[in-house]
Amino acid sequence: MPDELRDRGLRLTPQRELVLAAVRELGHANPEEIAEMVRLKHPGINLSTVYRNLETLENVGLVIHSHLGHGGATYHAADDINHLHLVCGKCGSVGEAPIETAAQFVNTIADDYSFKTDVTHFAIHGTCARCLETL
Amino acid sequence: MPDELRDRGLRLTPQRELVLAAVRELGHANPEEIAEMVRLKHPGINLSTVYRNLETLENVGLVIHSHLGHGGATYHAADDINHLHLVCGKCGSVGEAPIETAAQFVNTIADDYSFKTDVTHFAIHGTCARCLETL
DNA sequence: TAGGTAGATGCGACAACTTTGCAAGTGGCT
DNA sequence: AGCCACTTGCAAAGTTGTCGCATCTACCTA
């Protein structure tokens, strides 16, 4: 679908297409990982081009970033954000749970604080089952 | 209570006391803000000393960090972590809600995924009431 | 109370990650 | 085919946090 880029007023460059494809394929990935994947087909791409394209793609709503750990952002395809992330503070593993798991929590906060929460933006932090066992 | 430091095997230095005091006074603050406050009484303190003391104080359980925004950590007094943070992605405001608000959510995740979540570590991201109005 | 020592501090260098300026390149319109 | 604004590559710089090392000092011991 090359027109999904043009329709949003963006030029269709190989770099841009490959960045979007990488985000979709990787599920969630940081800029460095995305650059690596893009380089398989377009070895010369510069990291700053990746950063700029991620920002651009996010501005037009094709891509979304979230924060899974202490460090930088990870990027997702916008239409793939239907889950929340369970990040283990011990081993760093990233689990997923359907977004409905938080539905009541979100509603409570909306009712009590008029705050519309986006549960996918930040990870849910805690300790995973395996790490709990080994304590 | 100077002995709360010594009791945990830490030397009682003016810098360390002031860092702890600043964390307690500020409620939540990043290392730079903490350094600024410490400098009011101890102008010479080095930023790396602040970082090292925050790490040390966290190791002995007097201080805890959490992530409120895209950037770095913010620090709290450990006995002050009884609320979760509602961070508005538009205006950056930080609201609070009692930790019980998330109790059922936490239980659901524990039951379904054996994942023990720490809701205070990452902020709850979304849009605050005021920003929702002005959309 | 003086002295020794492990731990703490200050300082500068370094590292990781991201942003920016600018010149050269190129997609898309006419 | 040609033009122009948008993109890219590259290098430099900004940010934030970490590290090595020499110096200093809190605390223990005699």
Give CA–CA dist B60/A95, Å, rounded. Answer: 29
Q: Given its phi and psi angles, is residue B61 left (phi above 0), alpha (psi -120 to 50 degrees) or beta? A: left
| pLDDT one-digit tens code per residue, B32-71 | 999 999 999 999 999 999 999 999 999 999 999 999 877 7
Q: Would the pLDDT of B81 be above 90?
A: no
Burial group, residue B58, by CB count within 10 angstroms (0-12, 13-18, 19+): middle
Which one, of A99, A125, A66, lies nearest residue B118 by Cα? A125
pLDDT grade, residue A82 (50/70/90)?
Answer: confident
Phi and psi of B58, rounded to 5°? -70, -40
Average pLDDT value for residue range B82-92? 90
**Does position B29 have pLDDT exceeding 80, yes or no?**
yes
Residue for token pair 């269709």? A12
Which of A104, A117, A128 has the CB atom closest to B126's CB atom?
A117
Average pLDDT value over all residues in chain B: 93
The DSSP line for B17-41 is: HHHHHHHHHHSSB-HHHHHHHHHHH
Chain B 30-89 residues whose Cβ is under 7 Å from strand C: 42, 44-46, 48-49, 52-53, 56
Residue A110 Cβ under 7 A from any strand C atom? no
Where residue B27 falls (left for φ over 0; alpha for ψ -120 to 50; beta otherwise) is left
CA distance A43 to chain B (A): 30
- At residue B59, the pLDDT reads 96
Count of CB atoms situated within 10 Å of the CB of A68: 21
Size (chain A), residues = 135
Specify the pLDDT at position A1.
59
Q: Which domains does chain B have, with CATH numbers?
A: 2-79 (1.10.10.10), 82-133 (3.30.1490.190)
Provide, in whole angstroms, the distance separating residue A5's CA from nucleotide C18's C1'.
25
CA nearest to B50, candidates B80, B72, B79? B72
